[in-house]
Amino acid sequence: MKIAIVNDMPMAIEALRRALAFEPEHRIVWVARNGAEAVQMCAANTPDLILMDLIMPVMDGVEATRRIMADSPCAIVLVTVDREQNVHRVFEAMGHGALDVVDTPAVGAGDPKEAAAPLLRKIFNIGWLIGQRSARERSAGTVLQGAVRRGGLVAIGSSAGGPAALEELLKGLPVSFPAAVVLVQHVDQVFAAGMAEWLSSASGMPVRLAREGEPPQPGQVVLAGTNHHIRLLQDGTLAYTAEPVNEIYRPSIDVFFESVARYWSGDAVGVLLTGMGRDGAQGLKAMRQKGFLTIAQDQASSAVYGMPKAAAAIDAAVEIRPLRTIAPRLVEVFA
């Protein structure tokens, strides 16, 4: 994979070089010392992946991500030495299309290969997404009847560009919105609690992490909060599970949507928002085949038109809508 590094700290650049050296198939094509340089260099030589620092002089990683995704889009992973201090910047950059976030590998402490492992694992996952490959193919044709659940449920999946899209969608829902809302966003569990807090403050809708063993509750918004998948069980409660282990992204949107198709017998709507790859498309199709309303975000309003495009390609979405119209549609459905 052709990889670029954007960082103003020589020690961090060296740490990334050492980490990438453990995988000889990765090649560093250029290094930029600030966001402005990165925008120019990316336009001249677009890599497969950029490892983007958040805090830099001249132009920070948030603005650089926004400009690159607008002009020379490619996969971007945020790299930071202090995730807790930069949590709001992380979500802002992810709103512009950054795919993931990882700590800068430590230098000179412990096993260097072990320190590099989290970064290399994320790069491996992104390689699958870039190649448009799927860890496994599903058949969405068989939908099982399960436990009886009443009320309404909105199942929402998002990835790159998701935080900003979720913020806008939730802003469009009234605090008295009667259906349960479950969000599945591709985000590391280290950031899940911070994202729930950020969504609450940014959108005005109370958002918290989903708890093991609870049922989706009318009028409540919950976010999948671990690196395991979240699914609906036959008894109508939510559970976290490591299976299936061969899913590239955790939590998997497909896993949750498919469980809703099997076990939710009230009214439900599936919504697939911006993101790279194909996660959620097959699950959305399963929900459509069950008779649920399914909505995919349109290309013009998507930061990354990957997942919604995949859903449209297999006719998984009943409706394809601009982001600004999705919340009003949900209000209409559950009025």
Residue in the structure block whose two tokens are 């700590």: 103
CA dihedral sign of residues 308, 314, 315, 316: negative
pLDDT at 21: 93
CB 79 within 8 A of CB 106: no
Q: What is the mean pLDDT of residues 225-248?
A: 91
Q: Do domains 2-130 and 152-333 have the same CATH topology?
A: yes
Coil/strand/helix, residue 125:
helix
**Token pair listed for 156:** 């929402």
Any catalytic annotation for residue 186?
Answer: yes
Question: Which residues in 281-332 belong to E strands, given as ranges?
Answer: 293-297, 319-321
Residue 222's closest CA among 186, 191, 182? 182
- What's the rounded Cα separation, in Å, for the pair 212 and 69? 36
Statement: residue 141 has pLDDT above 80: no
Distances (CA, A) of 33 to 5, 7, 265: 8, 5, 54
Q: Confidence class of residue 245 from pLDDT cuts 50, 70 and 90?
A: confident
- Residue type for position 187: V
Sign of CA dihedral 53, 59, 62, 64: negative
With CA atoms as reference, report the closest residue to 188 among 123, 106, 251, 135: 251
Torsion of CA 269, 88, 300, 331, to 10 degrees: 30
Spatial distance between the Cα atoms of 273 and 298, rounded to a whole number of angstroms: 8
Q: What are phi and psi of 5, to 5 degrees?
A: -120, 130
- 201 catalytic? Reply is no
Residue 305 DSSP class: B
Cβ proximity of 201 and 242 under 8 Å? no
Question: Which residue ranges make up each domain of the chain?
Answer: 2-130, 152-333
* pLDDT at 144 > cutoff 60: no
Give per-residue pLDDT as tens, 36-95: 999 999 999 999 999 999 989 889 999 999 999 999 999 999 998 776 677 788 888 988
**Strand pairing report for 229-232 and 238-241:** antiparallel
Of 236, 220, 140, residue with least CA distance to 177: 220
Catalytic residue among 254, 279, 298, 301: 279
Neighbouring C-beta atoms of residue 266, cutoff 10 Å? 16
CB contact set of 80 (below 8 Å; sequence gap of 6+): 53, 54, 55, 86, 90, 101, 103, 104
Quote the radius of gyration of the chain (alpha carbons, Å): 20
Catalytic residue from among 134, 158, 186, 203: 186
Length of the chain: 335
Of 134, 158, 159, 259, which residue is the catalytic one? 159
Q: Tokens representing 286?
A: 């399963």
- 2-130 in CATH: which number? 3.40.50.2300
How far is residue 95's CA from residue 186's CA, in Å, rounded to a whole number? 12
Fold of 152-333: Rossmann fold (3.40.50)
pLDDT in tens, 170-194: 999 999 999 999 999 998 888 899 8
What is the average pLDDT score of the chain?
89
Q: Which residues contact 76 (CB under 8 A, 6 or more apart)?
A: 49, 50, 52, 65, 68, 69, 93, 97, 98, 99
Mean pLDDT within 212-232: 94
